[in-house]
C-alpha cells in the first residue's frame, strides 16, 4: 500500500500554512480581530483541513503525494491560467469581504443567510472529501496522467455525478461569503462559481477526448455537477 512521501507532506504543510495567511489578510481587511463570523469560519477551515488530511493520509495517500506539486507536465493550457487566477481572485475576495462585512459596512446580510451558509458548509465538505478519498488521480490541474496509469474513477460520488469535487468546491465558494456576512463577497463568489462551471466543461471535454473509457462512463453517468440539472 502506498504511503505518504516527502512531496505529500510538503503539500500538506503548504496548504495548512495558507489557512492562517488567508485569515490574516481577511482580518487585516476587516481592521479588527473582534469578529465572531471570521473566527467561526477560521475554526471551520482549520477543522476541515485537519479532518480531511487525516482521512486522506489513511485512505488515499497517493492523492496527497500527487497534490504535493501543482503544475505538472501535460497540464492543459486553460488550467495553467486557472492556477494563476484562482488564488488571486480568492485573496481579492477576502479583502472585499473584510471591507464589506466589518470595516465599511457596504452591505447588510440577514443572519439567516449566515446560518444557511453554516448548514451548507457541511455537504460541501462531505462531497469534496468523499470525492478526494476515492480518487487517487485527483490532482490540482487538468491533465491526462499517463505517468500514473490514469483510469476512470467510478467509485463513491462518481457513481452519481462526474465531477463531485467541483460540486463541493462550488458550494464552498458560495457559502463562505454567507458565513462571513458579505453580499459583495457573494457577488464575486458567484462569478468564480461560473468560472468553475466553465472549467468543469473544459475538463469533461478533455477527458472524453483523451481518457480511455471516459466517454462510455459519461454515457452512463449523465450529469457533471448536479443530478437532474447539469
Go through the chain and tell me how many residues it has: 230
Instruction: For residues 47 and 53, give the distance between their C-alpha atoms in angstroms, rounded to a whole number.
Output: 10
Instruction: For residues 202 and 15, give the distance between their C-alpha atoms in angstroms, rounded to a whole number.
Output: 26
Distance of CA 123 to the CA centre of its chain: 13
Place 223 in a pLDDT band, splitting at 50, 70 and 90.
very high
How much is the pLDDT for 157? Answer: 97
Domain-wise residue ranges, the chain = 6-220
| Whole-prediction pTM | 0.94
Instruction: For residues 8 and 66, give the distance between their C-alpha atoms in angstroms, rounded to a whole number.
Output: 7
pLDDT digits (tens, 9 = 90+) for 74-130: 899 888 888 888 889 999 999 999 999 999 999 999 999 999 999 999 999 999 999
How much is the pLDDT for 1? Answer: 61
The mean pLDDT value for 143-149 works out to 92
Non-local CB neighbours of 178 within 8 Å, separated by 6+ positions: 109, 113, 114, 116, 117, 120, 186
CA distances, 133 to each of 6, 51, 130, 158 (Å)? 19, 12, 5, 11
**Residue range 6-220 in CATH 1.20.120.1630:** yes
The mean pLDDT value for 119-144 works out to 96
Amino acid at each position: 500500500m502506498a504511503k505518504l512521501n516527502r512531496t505529500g507532506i510538503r503539500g500538506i504543510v503548504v496548504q495548512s500554512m495558507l489557512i492562517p495567511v488567508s485569515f490574516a489578510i481577511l482580518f487585516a481587511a476587516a481592521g479588527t480581530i473582534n469578529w465572531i463570523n471570521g473566527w467561526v469560519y477560521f475554526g471551520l477551515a482549520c477543522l476541515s483541513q485537519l479532518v480531511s488530511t487525516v482521512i486522506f493520509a489513511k485512505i488515499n495517500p497517493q492523492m496527497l503525494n500527487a497534490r504535493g506539486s501543482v503544475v505538472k507536465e501535460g497540464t492543459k493550457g486553460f488550467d495553467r491560467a486557472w492556477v494563476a487566477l484562482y488564488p488571486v481572485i480568492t485573496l481579492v475576495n477576502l479583502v472585499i469581504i473584510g471591507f464589506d462585512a466589518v470595516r465599511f459596512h457596504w452591505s447588510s446580510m440577514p443572519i439567516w443567510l449566515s446560518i444557511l451558509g453554516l448548514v451548507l458548509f457541511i455537504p460541501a465538505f462531505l462531497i469534496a472529501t468523499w470525492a478526494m478519498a476515492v480518487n487517487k488521480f485527483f490532482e490540482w490541474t487538468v491533465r491526462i496522467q499517463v505517468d500514473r496509469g490514469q483510469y476512470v474513477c467510478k467509485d463513491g460520488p462518481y457513481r452519481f455525478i462526474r465531477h463531485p469535487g467541483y460540486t463541493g468546491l462550488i458550494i464552498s465558494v458560495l457559502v463562505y461569503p454567507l458565513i462571513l456576512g458579505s453580499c459583495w463577497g457573494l457577488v464575486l463568489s458567484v462569478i468564480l462559481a461560473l468560472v468553475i462551471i466553465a472549467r468543469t466543461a473544459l475538463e469533461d471535454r478533455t477527458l472524453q477526448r483523451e481518457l480511455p473509457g471516459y466517454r462510455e462512463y459519461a454515457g452512463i453517468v449523465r450529469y457533471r455537477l448536479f443530478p437532474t440539472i447539469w
